Amino acid sequence: MKKIIAMLLVCAMCIGALAGCSKSGSDNQGNAGGKQEELTGIDKIIREAEGMTLEELAKKAIEESKGKTFYGVGNSSRGKSALPKFIEYLQTIDSSYTMEFEWQQPKNNKIFEQLTADSLKSTGTFAMTLIQDGNQIQSKMVDTNILRTFIPKQWAEANKTTADAYKGYLPLQTLNKVFEFNNTGSAKFTNCWDFVYDGNHSLYMDIDSELVGKNFLYMLTEDKYAGYLKDAYDQLDSSKKSYFDPVINAMASDAADLGLGANGKYALAWIKLWVESYNAQTDDGPICNTLVSKSATDQSGLLVYSKLRSVEESADVSVNNITVAAYQDNYVGIGGYGYNHYLFVTKNSPLPWTACAFIAYMTCTQEGFSAWGKDMGGYSSNPDVAAQTEAVYNHSKGGCDENGNVVFDAKNDRGYDWWVNTGKLVLEDPEYCSKVAFTVGSWIEMLTKYSE
């Protein structure tokens, strides 16, 4: 069996390398042909739009879409809440402006199929999209030339870059999934390895039903995050090291076959133990509802942090029944996973100027981001908007009463910078995920198959 797995891994790496070669020279921005002087169609519009202010874009949008219908599609339903605010903004420039709109949120990962089908039309239905899952965005949307990245001028300036210099896609926000555990019992989770220790079965959305969860596992093999796991392992006591050592040592050859770095075996060991032990769930909402109950003694989970906002307090249910693992002073290792919602213009957008203006509005104004920013656990990619959002909603004191007394410590959001630096959030990198999706992905697929 070991030889068969090794042969499959080598084949996977060869195919992945060939796929990488076929993509060489592709534009990381997602604009066909790159940012060259001779551009046409949508690419020309985007290039021009990237040099405009929001107000200048708004005027172009009014001219283009007045009296028309705007169709958007996204993984977040809140695009439907942001569009009326956008229309109100345009009406401050032209009081007679009107625009109808429809916003779709496909289920079961169908957004990629829907955008692919729409891309076959000479003029598409969807003007833009708000989409997640960096791996599939890279392989299904950008490498196939279906979506275009637009970088608003004011967003670039806030991030101290330019549209030409920036490499990557435009994130609206980063969301985090964090390790939490029910604290009504005696179980302790002070190290990220505790979540894969003997007898623990953390609640987690199944990696085949929400693929950003699989991207989390891919990212653990990246050198930086594998290093976090090694550092956390080093701080375990001898008894726990003895438990993990056989698995870690057994992963050394696979890590070498997969071309991983010096700490790759620690990443593969954690992944193996996690995949073989987690309690698969269908959604983060039920996971949250379970963990905050008194009856969930000693249970743990990895789930969207913002789900805590909707907990209804009662005698048996309370946010105080859970602890956010990384908020403990003595916690060691990764605190969770961060992934993005990305914004794109479709290659055959029927309203490209309006799409660019809407994207700029969401990423460059606090009001435009408010549909997402009103809740904890969602962080604008624009540092100016992030600061304005915190000033309005004060999420860092979200668990305090009107007198500033802490009522629910878990709801005092430490913010993006804290989560990335102190909380050691594992951040999704679309390019890396796409690079290892076939190699590490095949290894995980075999792992799940043989663990059944």
Under 8 Å between Cβ of 327 and 396: no
**Locate tokens 């060489």: which residue?**
24
3-state secondary structure of 180: strand
Neighbours of 75 (CB within 10 A): 18
- Eight-state DSSP code of residue 33: T
DSSP string, 300-328: EEEEEGGGGGGPPP-SSB-GGGEEEGGGS
- b (16+ CB within 10 A) / e for 82-102: bbebbbebbeeeeeebebebe
Give the pair of three-digit tokens for residue 424: 């050691």
Under 8 Å between Cβ of 447 and 1: no
- Radius of gyration (C-alpha) of the chain in whole angstroms: 23
- How wide is the angle at C-alpha 429 spanned by C-alphas 423 and 433, nearest 5°? 120
The distance from CA 443 to its chain's CA centroid, rounded to whole angstroms, is 22
* Pairing of the two strands 100-104 and 69-74: parallel
Determine phi and psi for 117, rounding to 5 degrees.
-65, -40
Report pLDDT for 185.
95
Torsion of CA 321, 325, 327, 333, to 10 degrees: 180
Give the pair of three-digit tokens for residue 315: 């005698």
Length of the chain: 452
- How wide is the angle at C-alpha 39 spanned by C-alphas 33 and 41, nearest 5°? 105
* Pairing of the two strands 336-346 and 425-427: parallel
Q: Please list the residues that pair with 426 across neighbouring strands.
A: 337
Distance CA 79, CA 101 (A): 11
Tens digits of pLDDT across the chain (452 residues): 355 455 545 555 454 444 444 333 334 344 443 444 578 899 999 999 999 999 999 999 999 999 999 999 999 899 999 999 999 999 999 999 999 999 999 887 799 999 999 999 999 999 999 999 999 999 999 999 999 999 999 999 999 999 999 999 999 999 999 999 999 999 999 999 999 999 999 999 998 878 889 999 999 999 999 999 999 999 999 999 999 999 999 999 999 999 999 999 999 999 999 999 999 999 999 999 999 999 999 999 999 999 999 999 999 999 999 999 999 999 999 999 999 999 999 999 999 999 999 999 999 999 999 999 999 999 999 999 999 999 999 999 999 999 999 999 999 999 999 999 999 999 999 999 999 999 999 999 988 765 55
CA atoms lying within 13 Å on the CB side of residue 195? 32
**Cα–Cα nearest to 85, from 447, 311, 366:** 366
Burial class (CB in 10 A: 0-12, 13-18, 19+), 233: buried
CATH code that applies to domain 30-172+341-396: 3.40.190.10
Report pLDDT for 449.
61
Give the pair of three-digit tokens for residue 11: 């084949």
Give the pair of three-digit tokens for residue 362: 């969401």
